[in-house]
Structure 1
Amino acid sequence: MTLYFVKRALAVIVTSVFAQAVSAEPTALDRSSIPIAAPDYPSITEVDANKVQPPPLQVISPPEKAPNIVVILTDDVGYGVPSTFGGPVDTPTLDRLAQNGLSYTRFHTTALCSPTRSALKAGRNHHMVNVGSVQEIATAFPGNTGQIPNTTAPVAEILRLNGYNTAAFGKWHETALTDTSVSGPQHNWPNRQGFEKFYGFIGAEVNFLRPNIHDGFALVDTDKIRDPDYHFDADIADQAVNWMRAQKTMTPEKPFFVYFATGGVHAPHMVHKKWADKYSGKFDQGWDKLREETLARQLEAGIVPEGTVLAQKPDEVDDWDSHTADERRLYARQAEFFAGLVEHTDYQAGRVVDALEDMGILDDTLVIYISGDNGTSAEGERDGYFNWYSMMNRYPETVEYQLSRLDEWGTITSYPHMAASWAVAFDAPFAWTKQEAGDFGGTRNGTVIHWPNMIKARGEKRTQFSHVIDIAPTILEVAGIPEPEYVNGVKQIPMQGTSLVYTFDNADAEERHKTQYFEMVGNRGIYHEGWFARVIQTTPWNPESRYPITSKEGWELFDLRNDFSLSNNLAKDKPKKLNEMIKVFMEQAVENHVLPLDTRLLDRMDAKTAGRIDLMDGRKSLTVFPGMIGMAEDTFLNVKNTSSRITAAVGVRGDEEANGVILAQGGSHSGWALYVTDGYPAFTYNFLQHQITSLKSSERLPEGESTITYTFDYDGDGRGKGGTAILAVNGKEVARERIERTIMNAYTVDETTDVGVDLSTQVAQSVFPTARDSLFTGTIEAVTVEILE
């Protein structure tokens, strides 16, 4: 530890130069229990205010010289993507910070989004904060409930209660979807997790061109701000820059903590074509050659040790040359959009960095740029998807279909994802991808730390093993703030991460983070003192277990001191060492609430199947009213895979002609809507854009009150089956159609259920091009949704 940090730590223990809480003499603030208690002022007996001096007001300020802190986190960017770490995609912002800072070549995440984000802020392992997997598949088991406990206060709350201003922009994905309704609870929302300002989206992903955005707890009407060039990541960059400037204008001496978490490059890979066109032809060589090229650059730059080889790619990943010319044309264009979105994302992060420089505070701001919250996503499966919701509902799209819509790729009509083989290539030199906690392709992410005023090294690399749980302890040590024992009166579980400050000025410092488990949906691994053991239990393209979950079958062993890429399995050669590693994993698993292992993925999206809290548990009907908008799928009655009925009481006044959506769930890529168009009642069921079924009355709604009923008679005998749709007005059937297939798992991730409007994108897009067009012009008394046995 440098002398600077020794002095800082002592200063925190002994005194605070800012806070003068009780008397005129400086006194040390007790930061071990926060919020810091108000002073106990003595009673005043003097009547005349002119004859007595008031005691000094309490001011809670950070320790002297505590810096501004900015954490930049991108999404689904694998190790072999950014140019900074040898990848083929230009990331000038990350390059710039690395050239003037430190690159961490052995930094790790958790293999999925929510767990990485929760672990980052808490400084504890993801199961210790009950986020063992993404929020959408939480279960009832401790370690996997999705409910962050108050015993693990996040670093933002610690900083806020110690005098920092705090703000978060972009993706959150740490709130259980059942907690997003008006009924809450709201304790896991950003504004209850230490952030005074939040602007972004709550769930896993967003439609970049038509996002549902929250400012604090309120939905933003983004129709007012959209233009043809709108993109969500550019929007949050605007918001972050404006907030930082305002904060420094008002209180220039007060430090801030900014968490800038982009939506890119999580699916959908939506970016304006000019960004994708920059990479035109640059992936025509295919994924096999790309892996070789990336490794060559990594070796030349010293990002990977001399002698590193490519890990053998999975058997399911076909050679590029084995595909047809049409397939290769599709795949190459998919990769171009992915790369374009990566560079666009880095560009928006660069605008935040530029703003710091313009304000003259960049060099004294700790900037931590983590390139990806896990490896590149292989969730596009074999051929990719024009509409990624097809994957979520197990409806593969053909190459021919995708090629027929290739000109629409990246536009508002698409919701695209690339073929899984690209993910393997973009995670070079490793073999696996996002979801695979047992492989560094899923968990190793290039990371840069930049703080020129305190880190003397420039452009150097750090090779000590590090993990996302190390970020919170690093931030606290840099700020000179001790880890609190109590937060809001609750005793805290100690942070499990290791501050990285010891590496700042010592490239050869002995590694301090010596043991780290990994687990995600049964895929698991254990790092311990230079060795790594793992099991590839399932794959992103096949949810079936490869090995019995209770056996030792499938365990592999690697000596990381000589094998950077996990290419040489030593399990047969060193069975004793492997057994030692398995024992360490089991110890860690028990201690961190990892067990029991649950390999289910898409099946757990259903709350009842997963066993987690279900807001609609046991209910067969739900009546909603005007003003109820933005209801996430997990907060609404589940009408999938069953017969159902929707009954709407609406009204038409005088000569007015009713128009607009009465009730809609989902959006233009998947969902259903009950609406009125030019006075005619109608219903549309949108099955993944592949099959759109509409029913429409031949008669307009009469003046006055009417009852519109939509009934769906489900075929039964499994999930995602078809049925008969019937539309009636005032008890009279007006339309009947056959719906051949229905959604089995989820309509969407980011879109919602809305009364009187269809937010974001519209289910009946040809009828209502925008949310504003879909506003219902008549009156809605109530809408009742029922599950029919």
Structure 2
Amino acid sequence: MPKYNDPKVPFVPDRTVLPIHEPTYPPCKDMFADDNPTPPPPRFTVKAPEKAPNVLIFLIDDMGYGASSAFGGPIPMPTSERLAKTGLRFNRFHTTAVCAPTRAALLSGYNHHSVNMANITELGTAYPGNLSTRPKTVTPMAQVLRLNGYSTAQFGKCHETPAWETTASGPFDHWPTFSGFDKFYGFLAGETNQYHPALNDGVTLIEPPKKENYHLTEDLADQCILWMKTQKAMTPDKPFFVYFAPGATHAPHHAPEKYRDMFKGQFDDGWDAMRQKTLEKMIKMGVVPPNTKLADKPKDIADWDTLPDVEKKLYARQMEIYAGFARHTDDQIGRVVDTVEEMKLLENTIILYIMGDNGASGEGRMTGVVNENAAINDAPEPLEFILENQHLLGTDMAYNHYAAGWAVALDAPYKWVKTVASNFGGNRNAMIFHYPAKYKGKGEVLNQFHHVIDVAPTIYELCGIPIPKMVDGVEQRPMEGVSMKYALDNHKAKGQRQTQYFCIFSNFGVYHDGWFAGVVDKLSWEVKPLYEKTKDAPWELYNLEEDFSCANDVAKKYPEKLEELKKIFYEEGLKHNVFPIEGRGGILLNADVAGRPTIFGDRREVTLYEGVIGIKEHAFLEMKNRSFTITAEVEVGPGHTDGVIFAQGGRFAGYSLYIKDGIPCFCYNWLGRERYYTKATKPLVDERNQIRLEFKYDGGGFGKGGNTTLYVNNKKAAEGRIDRTVGNQFSFDESADVGMQRATPVTEEYTVENSKFKGRIYSVNIKTEPPNVK
């Protein structure tokens, strides 16, 4: 009789080929069960290596190198300080300079172009390296860990799913739960409203919990804590991998009420003084070398002392709101860490606290904004408008962002900010490593040059898991990241990452053996690149052994060294599908311009039905810069039937076809600053009705105006005029909805709570014409 589950015959899995193949069992030769005792359960289950640690990665959004108090910054972040005190700090850790590419690189161990994420998915093109779709030759870290016996969960922002794959139709291959995560609770966009987020649980669109003073970051912490407790209760011997990536501190800067005034008056000295104080503290703490200089400030950033008092007050308030937002985020991360400690898991848990997926953001431009969509659509808010509405900053009535001067200050000691991949202000971020079981640190500073792609191989090595060679029958590309374990073992070891390229938009550069060369061509507060042709932009060169902050350009002094690095950049670019370098920026939000796939392809028409909600803008029929018609078949009952028939966007930009007091209405919301109404004069009759809204676009460019005509049962009911339309984007996260509005209302004539249509909607048909921008 065969022996089952024989402990004398150990099974050694081949972890380089995933999924791990289970062992074969000899057949039972006894024909009847009563002649053969019941064997023990099958022995084979996929288990993590013995004593494998838990892994917990925190990734904050849009936080500069010089923001956190743990690195000398002005914002007190107790959790970061606590982990740094008993952990290690990396002061030369790098990201890609923009969120989605950094996240794709972090979660894979491969450069962002190697996983086709040259930029955010909403700016994807048809070129290799910028397709937004991860190749099967690269398997995400979460999947590798899951197939090696880990429980895996992601909470927060996922910006790596191609924009056109975010609907209920999928495909779901690039969603978190099909990319290695057992659990996903978060949102699929570059940003979201912290009070009214577009949430998914797995692949299901859900409503946020009905909770007074709801805030997304708190919700994410709640869900993370619950999941960890449940996971350990059910499988205490199974390690977990948790990726906690809140939307904070990306705009909108939504700080809960009690945090909005926490730092009142602390930034009245302005951004110039902040830069200087931060550098002084960094030097004192040993975070940067003692000879570090403050790099020159961009010429576009005004000297604080030259500003009028009314502007100083406004900008100081913007920074107070951001600081409160950052502190609140750190406090929620602290709740997660506290839970790990209470569960007695902290000792054997690897924690990486990465403070920023890129540098601080200058996308608020020179004055900051009440509504970030104004900057995205190149429609700057007048200073008078911002001053009049500054009392709304941080609340759900604003979608605010601070002035770019604060971004430069929070990236101290560097010159530039987010999106400028060719400068450490854009691509260098503070990182804390904490793993007491193996590395009992005291806040020591490790200065080896590393990149976010080095995280995955580090985790694999520390967990005793080999880098896979084959996954699901597909041969894997050689790992591009370098494990940082050698630096953890020997803090003074020579850095093992000798070369690393950087490229976002038309900002690009390369690090090699202590030198850095790059080109600055596209600023986050400018619509167009600085140079008509990127190839004409000048290269800069820095000797990093002598110049930590890239304050002294030595390109003219060492022309041969510059030529050497330019050649290396070209070689790295060829190797990783970096070319062609793309500098067009926000105009690529329009898929017609970018050439990326859309779910609609050449279709110019769609028919929707009641209950279809949550379709994100970049997965919907393109409605901007063109004429369109919305035709709804509805039935109303006795008396007035009110509610939304169809809406896209929300309070900060969008449009809505709705019924108010029985009267059909159309509202076009231009960036929350102007609302254009077209309303019928008579209520609908109590029967089936056809309501048709025709918009005729003026043409002649992006965001132009047009005329509206409203028909009821094929009879003209009203005419209107829209002077300006949204040309680039209504919203990253607000959606197209039939029969209600999900997050925020397009118009204050109704609320989200009473937006549900009270009658019946048979269909909503939308037809569009080709774009008319010439």
TM-score with structure 2 setting the length:
0.97
TM-superposition CA deviations, 1:211-266 (whole Å, max 9, x none): 110000111122x4231x21100000000000000111111111000000011110
Structure 1 contact 608–614 (Cα < 8 Å) conserved? no
Task: Output the CA distance in 1 between the equivalents of 2:5 and 2:216.
Answer: 43
Q: 1:230 to 1:21 in 2, by over 3 A?
A: farther
For 1:387, the aligned partner's letter is: N
Give the residue type in structure 1 aligned to 2:666.
F
Deviation at 1:788, TM superposition (A): 4.0
The answer to whether 1:767 aligns with 2:752 is no
Distance 2:553 2:43 in 1: 64
Identity of matched residues, %: 45
Match in the other structure for 2:129 = 143
Cα offset, 1:396, TM superposition: 0.5
C-alpha separation in 1, matches of 2:37 and 2:532:
78
Contact 1:21–1:27 (Cα < 8 Å) also in 2: no
Q: 1:238 aligns with which of 201, 210, 222?
A: 222
Amino acid at match of 2:703: G
1:385 to 369, 373, 376: 369
Are residue 428 (structure 1) and residue 409 (structure 2) matched?
no
- Equivalent position SS for 1:122: coil
Structure 2 counterparts to residues 474-513 of structure 1, below 5 A: 474-513=458-497
Contact 2:351 2:435 (C-alpha < 8 Å) held by counterparts: yes
Alignment partner, residue 740 of structure 1: 723
The equivalent residue for 2:399 is 415
The answer to whether the Cα contact below 8 Å between 1:21 and 1:39 also exists between their aligned partners in 2 is: no
User: Contact between 1:118 and 1:174, CA under 8 Å: does it hold in 2?
Assistant: yes
Residue number among 210, 222, 230 corresponding to 1:225 in the alignment: 210
Kindly state the Cα deviation for residue 273 of structure 1 after the two structures are TM-superposed: 3.3
Three-state SS of the structure 2 residue aligned to 1:602 is helix
Of 75, 85, 95, the match for 1:109: 95
Partner of 2:659: helix, strand, or coil?
A: strand
Matched, 1:126 2:112: yes
Report Cα offsets for 1:548-583 as digits up to 9, x if no partner.
656364101101001000001110000000000101
Q: Deviations over 1:75-96 (max 9, x none)?
A: 0000010001110001100100
Cα pair 2:100 2:159 within 8 Å, conserved: yes
3-state SS of 1:129 partner: coil
Out of 198, 222, 243, the residue aligned to residue 184 of structure 2 is: 198
One-letter code aligned to 2:354: I
Matched to 2:307, the amino acid is H
- Mapped contact 2:11–2:23 kept (Cα < 8 A): no
The corresponding residue for 1:16 is none
Deviation at 1:608, TM superposition (A): 1.4
State the shift of 1:52 in Å: 4.1
Corresponding residue for residue 617 of structure 1: 601
* 1:634-713 correspondence to structure 2 within 5 Å: 634-653=618-637, 655=638, 657-713=640-696
1:480-520 alpha-carbon deviations (Å, 9 max, x no partner)? 01011011111111211111111113211111111100000
Are 2:737 and 1:751 equivalent residues in the alignment?
no
- SS of the aligned residue for 2:489 comes to coil
Displacement of 1:454 after TM fit? 0.8
Deviations 1:6-44 (A, max 9, x none): xxxxxxxxxxxxxx9887621210111111123322222
CA contact (8 A) 2:13 2:21 kept: no
**Residue of structure 2 equivalent to 1:250:** 234
Structure 1 residue 742: Cα displacement: 0.5
The letter for the 1-side match of 2:729 is A
Q: Retained in 2: the 8 A contact 1:726–1:735?
A: yes
Residue number among 514, 538, 550 corresponding to 1:566 in the alignment: 550
Whether 1:462 aligns to 2:443 is: no
- Equivalent residues of 1:143, 1:594 under 8 A apart: yes
2-side partners of 1:683 and 1:552: how far apart?
Answer: 48
The amino acid that maps onto 1:622 is V
In structure 2, relative to structure 1, the CA distance for the partners of 1:21 and 1:550 (3 Å cut) is farther
SS at match of 1:423: helix
Query: Given that residues 61 and 163 in structure 1 are in contact (C-alpha distance below 8 angstroms), is that contact kept between their aligned partners in structure 2?
Result: yes
Return the alpha-carbon distance in structure 2 between the equivalents of residues 523 and 788 of structure 1. 35
Match of 2:39 in 1: 54
Distance 1:433 1:194 in 2: 32
Q: Structure 1, residues 395-441: CA drift from partner, whole Å, max 9, x if none?
A: 10122111111111111110000111110011000000000000000
- In the TM superposition, residue 174 of structure 1 has moved relative to its aligned partner by 0.4
Partner of 1:167: 153
Of 280, 304, 319, the match for 1:335: 319
What's 1:315 paired with? 299
Query: Which structure 2 residues correspond to residues 321-400 of structure 1 after superposition, within 5 A?
Result: 321-400=305-384
Inter-partner Cα distance in structure 1 for 2:657 and 2:488:
59
Provide the rounded CA distance (Å) in 1 between the counterparts of 2:465 and 2:711: 65
Q: Which residue of 1 aligns with 2:164?
A: 178
Amino acid of the structure 1 residue aligned with 2:48: P
Partner of 2:85: 99
Compare 672-681 and 21-30 and name the one that shifted more.
Answer: 21-30
Amino acid at match of 1:61: K
* In 1: Cα distance, 2:98 partner to 2:445 partner: 25
| Deviations 1:686-723 (CA, angstroms, capped at 9, x unpaired) | 10111111222222211121000111121111111111
Counterpart contact for 1:381–1:420, Cα < 8 Å: yes
1:22 and 1:390, CA in 2 relative to 1: closer, same or farther beyond 3 A? farther
SS in 1 for 2:143: helix
In structure 2, what is the equivalent of residue 724 of structure 1? 707
1:544 to 519, 523, 528: 528
Equivalent in the alignment of 1:449: 433
Q: Which residue of 2 aligns with 1:8?
A: none
Please report how far the alpha carbon of residue 457 of structure 1 lies from its aligned counterpart in structure 2 after TM superposition. 2.9
Task: Give the whole-Å Cα distance in 2 for the aligned partners of 1:567 and 1:79.
Answer: 16
Q: How many residues align?
A: 765
Q: Give the Cα separation in 2 of the matches to 1:610 and 1:399.
A: 32
Letter in 2 for 1:250: M
Tell which deviates more after alignment, 106-115 or 316-325: 316-325
- Counterparts of 1:354 and 1:21 in 2: how far apart (Å)? 40
Distance in 2 separating the partners of 1:408 and 1:277: 13
> Aligned AA for 1:733?
K
C-alpha separation in 1, matches of 2:85 and 2:227: 27
Give 4+ residue runs of structure 1 displaced > 6 Å after superposition: 20-23
Secondary structure of 1:422's aligned partner: helix
- The 8 Å contact of residues 101 and 120 in structure 2, kept in 1 or not, is answered as yes
Q: Quick check: 1:664–1:758 contact (8 Å CA) kept in 2? A: yes
Name the CA distance, whole Å, in 1 between partners of 2:646 and 2:305: 49
Question: In structure 1, how many angstroms separate the alpha carbons of the residues matched to 2:241 and 2:687?
Answer: 56
Please say if residues 529 and 584 of structure 2, whose CA atoms lie closer than 8 Å, have aligned partners that are also in contact: no
Question: Counterpart of 1:776?
Answer: 757
Q: What are the Cα deviations for residues 583-619 of structure 1, in whole angstroms up to 9, with x where unaligned?
A: 1111100001001101011111011110110222222
Q: How far has the Cα of 1:54 moved from its partner?
A: 3.0
Task: Tell me, yes or no, if the aligned pair for 1:22 and 1:41 is still in contact at 8 Å.
Answer: no
**Structure 1: how far apart are the matches of 2:386 and 2:410?**
22
Per the alignment, in what secondary structure is the counterpart of residue 726 of structure 1?
Answer: strand
3-state SS of paired residue (2:107): helix
Instruction: Judge which range, 49-58 or 181-190, deviates more.
Output: 49-58
